[in-house]
Structure 1
């Protein structure tokens, strides 16, 4: 079956060169463009890395999508459009995907981008020596021999990916995966330059050493302060890129960030918890909120190291039931978020949200059941639970944690100690199971339910609860080859609602202040929020 998306290229890459662009007019919309085409935005924390095979956070991935380009990108609606790949074909059972790469893609040092660069990157991701936190994604993609390579039982050369020639990449899967192409927009699959990595080791990502194939080059990085990228003149579509310079500023306090936005220092910032309604009234052309493919949840340590009370599913369910999610979304956050009773958001393509039991109860009914479950487990006023709730430093996370801790105290008599840690320390603490209950968030790596539910699979690299259920593992494995995996996804959601290794709290909304001259080009329709600076532009005021 031939699946060509060349036609989409025409819709997303009309030439900006020529008279229209020279007159500072946008050729597609006819809008007058601003002379200053810079984009400055706020991030909460220092990113984990700009190495495609190492980065593990959302803000880092945003940077990587500017610096590197994978097989496919997404347009404003979240649909696949050409990146380095122009098109792909599959065999009849969708186990072999063959990608045709463009011949004008170059690295920033002038070398051609080849299929071999993807082979190198994918082998590097799967290689145990790389120690990538996203190594498991190779299994999510279903690449043949990924598990064996990741475990060290096979050489990386046995991974199911090879370069037929410089412009033809062949990928072999262990079994049919109809949505495989969607997984290739993830940053861990982006190509990396072997020669730069071999020459500089882990320092290859420093501005003086880095070699990139995306629309922008890394020109400055001051840790915990700012990162600057500027247009890459070697990028195949540089003539069609409007934004010249992109700067991300690390600002830990969301209220300080808003003040700096209002002072004109930022083009985009998150709206502090609880302030969206008033800002939408005072700044209707700047305050915006829209659904996102993300879930906010609390992960519960169910490993052998956890306290005995958290090993009891009755306690875990009680803690979940006692959280009034409507108060959190409507009173604490007020930014368009929706209460969550399943891990997978309703915004996920092709997913029907299951009717798990407790979602249909009133909050009074949930509270009553929570008290009953705690009593059955042997806990109450005479034997109270004392637990620690971990969250990464953020005013919004703190407000949610305070609200939840009060709900647990009032409804169940649970004593809660709040502990906050800076981002990288928090990731390590959570990843090593040195916690009891921890705040967590997950945004889809691609738009299909498995991107969420794979996190409760026992071998997932981000299963920080260390939850293991053979039935869940089997259902998820079978779902990957099903034409309609919804029944399996429904069953998995029902199982985890009963076992409660994670507590879904809300599904995200994008809640931003965005300058009016920029907001028109922001991809609000894309629930994954995979945005690319090369597609943004500012109109004249």
Structure 2
């Protein structure tokens, strides 16, 4: 089955993006050339017009390809920006598509050139236009990559330029990427979502994050099938057609409304009563409950992409700099018990490290999850000098208690439940953990930007390229914890230096093994997020690339016809 690419997905080796927070090149508009995955439609003739309302846990912040960090931003960005290529997932590997395969690809041809194939020439579709009617040209590509590489822009996705020598426009429809060497991810690194030079070039790179467009998203100039038509910050964002997107791929719907519904219970209620048509992040318990009670709903899952964990910030907590402490905390967690207690077995499996089973060449089923062993955890903490000298149940060392605060996000019942279980299990070995719940945007800021946390429960929506350098090198853009290992850095450098996957993959497996050994995270489980969809909505492609894949193909059975008058309460006619 082909799975088509979305935001973690393109500029984004980095993005590994947290599923709650991130989810880390636009491969496309909520997806691209998926050829074999069958959409929901039952063979019925698609209709035009109407609105679909989607309940999201968090609000959009800054959906620009150079700046995005959160899942709402990444999803919206994928629906609005095109890259030179699109991506698809075939037989456990990422493949790259031109415009012959996907309307979300700007280039109709790419060819390797130069000494040792260290350059890629892209031939761009000359008829493409931005949503303001101006042509999309090679100059936009050059500006995007020059700004992406500029340290003043402080882009969290700048790692895709590390091996880039230059980007040169041969003419308005031809652009050449010159790399320092040949390596497997060259096309991936050339896949970042392209931004319009004429809109942003007059803004100094250091001021992009405060560009006026971010305060008025409806003025954003985009290339994909959707643009922001109206916005009520903190409440909802209404997407309408980009009038200059190729006519043959113009969305079937008139509008998609992204409504902010932080409470998971409310998302389910609104989904059941039809106030919303699509509900993201439905708890596994409610999915099982509603299967027999809500025949008007179906449940679609994003397979094998998400890795939930606890990250220990070594910058903030001295105890976490000791690998024995991190390993002991991991050993104190009964992951199989959590999966069973929260009845997650259908949707989750205990995790071993950064590569979930979707990576056929990298996932090693012989590697076992860290064993639950409270006696061993206590012994490790003893050996590290953490002992309960005063008998209050909390270990101390040098007069400091083993105490820390765990952050996670509101709007996610699973994480709230897991936080409580972790608190109890760590207390059993003498660690005092406090829980702090934050709104999604606030958590993003503290975790990804300020690094102002002690421990965090979250997840990566794992990038579909094997290069994990942004997460695990010393000083990597998404190194949440301050983890630093000369051996890991060396392994990553050797893996990244390989010209072919056959040479790189064994080294990436060694990187994963080293991460498991050092335990900068306590791995919990790989899981499949579930999206609830009202059966009135057809043409959906919820896959490993997210819920918005090929959103231009969505349609509704009761469509009123193209251009029906909007209903202000829902953002559109339903």
Cα distance in 1, alignment partners of residues 538 and 289 from structure 2:
19
Distance 1:226 1:527, change over 3 A: closer
What is the SS of the residue equivalent to 2:458? strand
Cα distance in 2, alignment partners of residues 58 and 339 from structure 1:
23
> Residues 174-202 of structure 1: CA distance to partner in whole angstroms, max 9, x if unpaired?
222223323455xxx21212222256870
Question: Is 2:110 aligned against 1:88?
Answer: yes
Q: Structure 2 matches for 1:405-424, cutoff 5 A?
A: 405-410=423-428, 412-424=429-441
What is the SS of the residue equivalent to 1:60? helix
Equivalent of 2:446, from 421, 429, 445? 429
Cα distance in 2, alignment partners of residues 46 and 220 from structure 1:
14
Cα distance in 1, alignment partners of residues 172 and 149 from structure 2:
22
- Bigger helix fraction: 1
Equivalent of 1:192, from 181, 192, 195? 195
Distance 1:480 1:243, change over 3 A: farther
Question: Is 2:124 aligned against 1:107?
Answer: no
Question: Is 2:178 aligned against 1:172?
Answer: yes
Distance 1:170 1:444, change over 3 A: farther
Do 2:350 and 2:369's aligned partners in 1 also have CA atoms closer than 8 Å?
A: no
Cα distance in 2, alignment partners of residues 37 and 72 from structure 1:
30
Distance 1:434 1:283, change over 3 A: same
2:74 aligns to what?
Answer: 61
What is the SS of the residue equivalent to 2:63? coil
2:354 aligns to what?
Answer: 343
Do 2:53 and 2:256's aligned partners in 1 also have CA atoms closer than 8 Å?
A: yes
Cα distance in 2, alignment partners of residues 473 and 401 from structure 1:
31
Question: Is 2:478 aligned against 1:467?
Answer: no
Distance 1:79 1:228, change over 3 A: farther
Q: Structure 2 matches for 1:7-406, cutoff 5 A?
A: 30-34=43-47, 36-74=49-87, 79-81=95-97, 82=99, 83-91=105-113, 93-139=116-162, 142-144=163-165, 160-185=166-191, 189-198=192-201, 202-205=211-214, 206-207=216-217, 209-237=219-247, 239-269=249-279, 270-283=281-294, 286-303=298-315, 305-307=316-318, 309-332=319-342, 334=344, 336-353=347-364, 355-356=366-367, 358-359=369-370, 361=371, 363=372, 366-382=373-389, 384=395, 385-394=402-411, 395-406=413-424
What is the SS of the residue equivalent to 1:494? helix
What is the SS of the residue equivalent to 2:148? helix
Cα distance in 2, alignment partners of residues 234 and 103 from structure 1:
13
Deviation of 1:310 after TM superposition, in Å, equals 1.7
Equivalent of 1:513, from 515, 527, 532? 532
Do 1:274 and 1:332's aligned partners in 2 also have CA atoms closer than 8 Å?
A: yes
Do 1:197 and 1:204's aligned partners in 2 also have CA atoms closer than 8 Å?
A: no
What is the SS of the residue equivalent to 1:105? coil
Distance 1:352 1:239, change over 3 A: closer
Do 2:302 and 2:547's aligned partners in 1 also have CA atoms closer than 8 Å?
A: no
Deviation of 1:358 after TM superposition, in Å, equals 4.8
What is the SS of the residue equivalent to 1:479? helix
Do 2:311 and 2:480's aligned partners in 1 also have CA atoms closer than 8 Å?
A: yes
Cα distance in 1, alignment partners of residues 538 and 420 from structure 2:
33
Distance 1:515 1:125, change over 3 A: same
TM-score, length basis structure 1:
0.83
What's the C-alpha RMSD, in Å, of the aligned pairs? 2.8
Deviation of 1:74 after TM superposition, in Å, equals 3.9
What is the SS of the residue equivalent to 1:449? coil
Distance 1:528 1:39, change over 3 A: closer
Do 2:351 and 2:369's aligned partners in 1 also have CA atoms closer than 8 Å?
A: no
Give 5+ residue unaligned stretches, structure 2: 1-31, 100-104, 396-401, 560-574
Give 5+ residue unaligned stretches, structure 1: 1-10, 15-25, 145-159
Cα distance in 1, alignment partners of residues 282 and 445 from structure 2:
28
Question: Number of paired residues?
Answer: 489
Deviation of 1:237 after TM superposition, in Å, equals 4.2
Bigger shift: residues 476-485 or 120-129:
476-485
Do 1:67 and 1:215's aligned partners in 2 also have CA atoms closer than 8 Å?
A: yes
Higher relative contact order (CA closer than 8 Å, sequence separation 6+): 2
Cα distance in 2, alignment partners of residues 255 and 138 from structure 1:
42
> Residues 485-528 of structure 1: CA distance to partner in whole angstroms, max 9, x if unpaired?
2221222122222221112211130212112243553243x356
Bigger shift: residues 372-381 or 284-293:
284-293
> Residues 277-332 of structure 1: CA distance to partner in whole angstroms, max 9, x if unpaired?
222333465123342322111111112x423x222111100111211222333332
1:150 aligns to what?
Answer: none
Do 1:219 and 1:230's aligned partners in 2 also have CA atoms closer than 8 Å?
A: yes
> Residues 224-273 of structure 1: CA distance to partner in whole angstroms, max 9, x if unpaired?
11111111121124554312211111111011111111121222112125
Bigger shift: residues 475-484 or 225-234:
475-484
